[in-house]
Amino acid sequence: MKYTASHWGAYQITKADTATQIDIKPLPDDPAPSRIGRGWISAARDRDSRILKPAIRKGWLEGDNGANRCRDSFVEVSWDEAIRHAASELQRVKRTYGNGSVFGGSYGWSSAGRFHHAQSQLRRFLNLAGGFVSSRDTYSHAAAEVIYPHILGLSNRAFQDDMTALPLVTEHCEILLAFGGISGRTAQIASSGTSAHAVPSWLDQLRAKNVRLINVSPQESDLDKSEWWAIRPSTDTALLLALMYEIVVAGRANEDFLKRYTSGWEVLRAYLMGESDGVAKSSDWAATLCDLAAPDIRALALQLVSRKSMIAMTWGMQRADHGEQPLWAGLALACLIGQIGQPGTGYAFGYGSSSPVGQPSRLISWPSMPQGKNPISDYIPVARIADMLLNPGGSYSYNGENRIYPTTRLIWWVGGNPFHHHQDLNQFEDAWTRPETVIVNEHSWTATARRADIVLPATTPMERTDIMLSRRDPTLLYMSKLFDPMGEAKDDFEIFKLLSRALGFEQSFTERLDQEAWLREIWQQSAVVAQQQGFELPSFESFVKEGRFDVPDASECRIALESFVSDPKTNPLNTESGRITLFNETIAAMDLSDCPGHPTWLEPCESLLDAEPDQLHLISGQPDTRLHSQNDRGSESRADKINEREPAYLHPETAQRRGLCEGDIVKIANDRGACLAGLRLSKGIRKDCIALATGAWFDPQTINNFPLEVHGNPNVLTIDKGTSGLSQGNIAHTALVRVEKWTAPLPDLTISKPPKIKAQPESA
């Protein structure tokens, strides 16, 4: 059998005789295959969105220094010429300004497959070329990545590995308080690939057990068939503080747990009681902020301490201003309840946000493509990219450090789409024109590829062979090639091989191995890892032939923080006190007004709490039909659009008050920008919110002299600011907008066609 794999699932290749007849179908043992896969082939085979030949931006050839980077046409060139330009430009920038002026942070999800992981290839190449400025943390959960080591003594990754298994929750938990829900929508995805989607069936089992399931979220669909607490967005910290307050007032705080396993409780307690700031964090106080009923909060507080309870949070909650606070307050609440370290109860982060979180799995650190060492130590927190470009030499704070932004002359981006993922894209366009050169490897004419100076066409996973090897997934797959590369696309490995040849270090880059030899090498190293784990991998030949290997005994249930709780003296946490810190001296000493030393209610920079009556809160979460911007041009995503525009969800009463109907085209706007969307009505969203998923390909135009994104990309509306001076994560979920009917003629999309490209001159 032949297979391929993606972040949204693993597939059998079903008809592999001629290119046009090829199809894929999910693994037969996947209980809930993702809908995203249905749009994969059509997206990858769409000639209007694939980059067929290397291209160079016209203005760059004419020496415009980036000025016209966001609105230019291209000239097609041969691979030879493209490689020559890219190599000599890298060389020029290095010689003139040093490697610290090359930004290779290049964030993004790229594709599944161990060898062809685009960022690994880029980093290996740039490291050999003298290094680059990198990026830290993720757009997914930067606040957690930075704060967990302080308060929990674990990296976010280690905590995720340790997450209490969902089957234990099903078995033991009596009340599951899920902030941002637990959603099958986001659980379609697992980084590096997934062979099975199990979250929907865990949720069914939980429901069948009559567990009290509470979905604290502005959207009902975040946890179907549960009790919906339609909280006002960005106020979860207030609810969490009030739950703690009511537990304390009722004399039900688990003092034993607090004493043995936490530090700083007295400081947090004084804050809860209002002793330190004059405001008691009571349920009456929180009810007004959260738009919930005080008696419900009080009753819930008492139930949480008298039953087996789990406090769970989605990743999305911390992608907001002061995103550290709900994480810390949720952990603190779980400490007051005192059921951490026991089966199925306590505190969890990310159930449903990604398929593997809480999955009973055997974790195996498989080998990957070695990247070498980066001689440049400078980095930025990933979401500070626009600030870096706009304020070279400017200072910012990050995790207790005062840091300086480098001056960037050259950006090299692979496997990511910053014109999908970054906030305030209108400002980002300005920032993006600052460097002298931008080089992008892409398979599709994404908004980022359209804003590059040198565009190097890459293959998709379906056009090459690879191995799906994921630390959290029990299935190893040999990924077969389905099609020949479209146009002149090349694998990223081949592209960097040619570049390193031009720069004189090909042999260091390839280690004299071709692709097949690399796959063999990775497999051989994997065999060693397997042996250490007590099982044997088949030979490479038989793996290629069979296509699939399943790790034995792959189901392991863990309980978060179990060893610490069972013996805190022998297994202390790696925090300043060896315990969970409810007041953290290190963070307090940073003296950050936006991240004090204990969980604190801080009003967001923009929220419904101080909104005008006609403003709505924008929720821009992950799309159901695609992975971010990937496959947006595929059939599944396009079928979901309204008149080719991304659907926006609004409550019917809100729509009616504005004279809007299902199917209308609307303009969603604020001071930062405006976009069009197609209207869909739903009673499952708060009346003061509007939801527009991320990922519609960015298509900014000038309509009647005003800038308008015509496709439905929410990042023209979001705020480009850090969560706090501690972690500098993005705050995509914090934004207010206004909505009105679009009555002017509907502008055509430009991203449905390639950019303007001039064919290569004969004599070039």
Ligand X SMILES: Nc1nc2c(c(=O)[nH]1)N[C@H]1C(S)=C(S)[C@@H](COP(=O)(O)OP(=O)(O)OC[C@H]3O[C@@H](n4cnc5c(=O)[nH]c(N)nc54)[C@H](O)[C@@H]3O)O[C@H]1N2
Of 500, 620, 637, 670, the residue at the interface with ligand X (CB under 6 A) is: 620
Decide: helix, strand or coil at residue 609. helix
Of 110, 192, 283, 575, the residue at the interface with ligand X (CB under 6 A) is: 110
492 binds, among ligand X, Mo ion, none (CB under 5 to 8 A by kind): ligand X
3-state SS track over 268-292: HHHHHCCCCCCCCCCHHHHHHHHCC
Mention every residue, 6+ apart, whose C-beta is less than 8 A from residue 35: 188, 624, 625, 636
- Residues 516-545 touching ligand X, rule: CB under 6 A, are none
- Residues 196-225 touching ligand X, rule: CB under 6 A, are 216-219, 222
Is 473 a binding residue for ligand X by CB under 6 A? The answer is: no
CA distance 594 to 264: 19
Applying CB under 5 A, the span of 137-145, 146-154, 376-384, 707-715 interacting with Mo ion comes to 137-145
Given the residues 8, 107, 261, 523, the one annotated as active site: 107
Applying CB under 6 A, the span of 110-118, 158-166, 329-337, 503-511 interacting with ligand X comes to 110-118
- Cβ atoms of 692 and 735 closer than 8 Å: no
Residue 484 or 550 with smaller CB distance to ligand X: 484
- Residues 30-59 touching ligand X, rule: CB under 6 A, are 36
Residue 166 or 317 with smaller CB distance to ligand X: 317
CA distance 708 to 28: 45
Q: How many residues bind ligand X (CB under 6 A)?
A: 61
Q: Is 478 a catalytic residue?
A: no
- Cβ atoms of 31 and 205 closer than 8 Å: no
Of 143, 152, 244, 619, the residue at the interface with ligand X (CB under 6 A) is: 619
Q: What is the residue whose two structure tokens read 């290629």?
A: 544
Is 627 a binding residue for ligand X by CB under 6 A? The answer is: yes
Alpha helices in 547-609 (DSSP H): 562-566, 585-590
- Cβ atoms of 469 and 476 closer than 8 Å: yes
Given the residues 109, 315, 328, 398, the one annotated as active site: 109
Is the Cα torsion angle 136, 474, 354, 39 positive or negative in sign?
Answer: positive
Reference 755, options 446, 515, 533, 489; nearest CA is 446
Residue 54 or 341 with smaller CB distance to ligand X: 54
Smallest gap from residue 420 Cβ to ligand X (A) = 5
Q: Is 405 a catalytic residue?
A: no
Return the DSSP state at 538. Answer: P
Smallest gap from residue 694 Cβ to Mo ion (A) = 10
3-state SS track over 401-430: EEEECCCCCEEEEECCCHHHHCCCHHHHHH
Return the DSSP state at 755. Answer: P
Of 6, 49, 106, 111, the residue at the interface with ligand X (CB under 6 A) is: 111
Length of the chain in terms of residues written: 764
Q: 580 φ, ψ to 5°?
A: -65, 130
Is 160 a binding residue for Mo ion by CB under 5 A? The answer is: no
Contact pattern from residue 629 through residue 668 relative to ligand X, giving x for each residue in contact according to CB under 6 A and a dash for the rest: xx--------------------------------------
Q: What is the residue whose two structure tokens read 């060898």?
A: 115
Is 137 a binding residue for ligand X by CB under 6 A? The answer is: no
Is 140 a binding residue for Mo ion by CB under 5 A? The answer is: yes
714 binds, among ligand X, Mo ion, none (CB under 5 to 8 A by kind): ligand X
CA distance 3 to 466: 10
Q: What is the residue whose two structure tokens read 């000239």?
A: 75
Residue 318 or 584 with smaller CB distance to Mo ion: 318
CA distance 261 to 258: 6
Contact pattern from residue 334 through residue 363 relative to ligand X, giving x for each residue in contact according to CB under 6 A and a dash for the rest: -------------------xx---------
Q: By CB under 6 A, name the binding residues for ligand X.
A: 36, 108-111, 116, 118, 139-140, 179-180, 185-186, 188-189, 216-219, 222, 231, 233-234, 236, 314-317, 319-320, 353-354, 414-417, 420-421, 441-444, 446, 458, 492, 619-624, 627-630, 694, 714-715, 718, 732-733
Q: By CB under 5 A, name the binding residues for Mo ion.
A: 140
